[in-house]
Amino acid sequence: MTRTVIVTGGSRGIGRELAISFSKKNYNVVISYAGNEGAAAETKALCKENGAADVLTFKGDVSDENACEELVKTAMEKYGQVDVLVNNAGITRDGLLARMSAEDFDNVIATNLRGAFLMSRFVTKPMMKQRYGRIINISSVVGVHGNAGQANYSASKAGLIGMTKSIAKELASRNITVNAVAPGMIETDMTDALTDAQKESINSSIPVKRMGTPADIANAVLFLADENSSYITGHVLAVDGGMGI
**170 lies in the site for ligand NDP, by CB under 6 A:** no
**180 lies in the site for ligand NDP, by CB under 6 A:** no
The minimum distance between CB 94 and ligand NDP, in angstroms, equals 12
Region binding ligand NDP by CB under 6 A among candidate stretches 8-16, 98-106, 161-169, 219-227: 8-16
Q: Among 188, 221, 233, 238, which residue interacts with ligand NDP (rule: CB under 6 A)? A: 188
DSSP for 159-214, written as a single string: HHHHHHHHHHHHHGGGTEEEEEEEE-SB-SHHHHTS-HHHHHHHHHHSTTSS-B-H
Region binding ligand NDP by CB under 6 A among candidate stretches 12-20, 74-82, 127-135, 167-175: 12-20
Residues 6+ away with beta carbon under 8 Å from 191: 185, 199, 211
**15 lies in the site for ligand NDP, by CB under 6 A:** yes
DSSP for 59-122, written as a single string: E--TT-HHHHHHHHHHHHHHHS---EEEE-------B-GGG--HHHHHHHHIIIIIHHHHHHHH
The minimum distance between CB 223 and ligand NDP, in angstroms, equals 17
Q: Among 14, 29, 85, 161, which residue interacts with ligand NDP (rule: CB under 6 A)? A: 14
| Nearest C-alpha neighbor of 86 from the set 23, 162, 8 | 8
**57 lies in the site for ligand NDP, by CB under 6 A:** no
Region binding ligand NDP by CB under 6 A among candidate stretches 47-55, 94-102, 144-152, 178-186: 178-186
Sketch the per residue contact string, 138 through 157, with ligand NDP: x for CB under 6 A, - otherwise: x-x-----------------
Single-letter amino acid code for the residue at 112: N
Cα–Cα distance between 210 and 202 in angstroms, integer?
8
The minimum distance between CB 176 and ligand NDP, in angstroms, equals 21
Region binding ligand NDP by CB under 6 A among candidate stretches 20-28, 96-104, 179-187, 201-209: 179-187
Q: Judged by CB under 6 A, how many residues of this single chain contact ligand NDP?
A: 31
Residues 6+ away with beta carbon under 8 Å from 50: 20, 23, 24
The minimum distance between CB 14 and ligand NDP, in angstroms, equals 4
| Nearest C-alpha neighbor of 234 from the set 173, 161, 182 | 161
Report 201-230 residues binding ligand NDP (CB under 6 A): none
Distance linking the first and last C-alpha atoms of the chain = 40
| Nearest C-alpha neighbor of 22 from the set 1, 45, 53, 62 | 53
Q: Residue 153 catalytic?
A: yes
Residues that bind ligand NDP (CB under 6 A): 8-15, 32-36, 39, 61-63, 88-91, 111, 138, 140, 183, 185-186, 188-191
Active-site annotation, residues: 153
